Amino acid sequence: MNIAVLDDYQQLAAGLPAWKALPASVRIQTFSTPAANEDELVRRLEPFQVVVAMRERTAFPARVIERLPNLRLLASTGLRNASIDLEACKRQGVVVSGARGARNGRTSTSETALALILALAKQLVPSHQALVEGRWQPVLASGVAGRVLGLAGLGNIGAQMAQLGRALGMEVIAWSPNLTAARAAEHGVRAVSCDELFEQSDVLSLHLVLSERTTGLVSKARLAQMKREAVLINTSRAGLVHEEALLEALQERRIAGAGLDVFWQEPLPASHPLLKMDNVVLTPHLGYATLENFTAFYAGVVENILAWIEGRPVLALQGA
């Protein structure tokens, strides 16, 4: 049996102990760089019966699934993967599984969001670069205590952000399509309308599931509602934000800045306009990328592969 492990950027997957549980006859090949296009992806994966996907780093639309006749198990990390066409997998007889991360996996995402907030407020990137270049204190930092932290979404990660914001002395407000005042109050948060969220937030942090209702939520019109001194933080899904609208708002300084951990194309192309801007802090989708999380993910993947080999039920991906 041949197993492909995709998007192992740090080349650490094969060294994790979980794989030792598989039969000795299993052949595992890891790929540390993404395929350049769908044709290359298909060529890579043609020999494999099992493919391991790291979250949504590689897309599996129907046109890819249908060109992989040897594929029998698509084992994703995480319990959701919007990049896999589940109906196409069902038609082709491909089993799809999911794997849970570490207990602190979601906390890692809120920690990344907090790091982006503080990096922008404290001017960490330009200050570091100035010191490297021999310049001292070129810009002033700002405080976050007393500022308004707006949360789009108050699920598990949003609730953690509310706690972190309050600990920093921030006033926390929140909105989501189904948020009630009672749930907001449970987390010490004031529920507001979507208009109020964009208009009142000094820091607007996104923590929503990507869906038909939320795709493109941060539009040109919504960005126009934000304060000029406000910053946008996105550690959730790039599709929540209209790309061209955000680039325009940042270039024209209609908002003060953005801290982004997710992008419309990943890895982010070296030619992307964001990389030339001085009012952004960018991280390469680090929210869930911790050793603890990956260790748990791959352990779950191996459990699913063993269950599939032995004819037992796998942990199904949500929606499968």
Residues with catalytic function: 237, 266, 285
Domain boundaries, the chain: 2-103+290-309, 105-282
What is the C-alpha separation between 171 and 190, in angstroms, rounded?
A: 9
Per DSSP, the residues of 59-118 read -B-HHHHTT-TT--EEEESBS--TTB-HHHHHHHT-EEE-B---TTHHHHHHHHHHHHHH
For 105-282, which CATH class? alpha beta
- Kindly give the confidence (pLDDT) of every residue in the chain, 320 residues in length, as a single tens digit, with 9 standing for 90 and above: 999 999 999 999 989 999 999 999 999 999 999 999 999 999 999 999 999 999 999 999 999 999 999 999 999 999 999 899 999 999 999 999 999 998 877 799 999 999 999 999 999 999 999 999 999 999 999 999 999 999 999 999 999 999 999 999 999 999 999 999 999 999 999 999 999 999 999 999 999 999 999 999 999 999 999 999 999 999 999 999 999 999 999 999 999 999 999 999 999 999 999 999 999 999 999 999 999 999 999 999 999 999 999 999 999 998 65
* 105 neighbors 290 (Cβ within 8 angstroms): yes
Asked whether this chain's domains 2-103+290-309 and 105-282 adopt the same fold, the reply is yes
Query: 280 has which bridge partners?
Result: 258
Crossing angle for the helix pair 105-121 and 156-167, nearest 10 degrees?
40
CA proximity to 54, closest of 309, 223, 295: 295
Domain 2-103+290-309 fold: Rossmann fold (3.40.50)
Question: pTM to 2 decimals?
Answer: 0.92
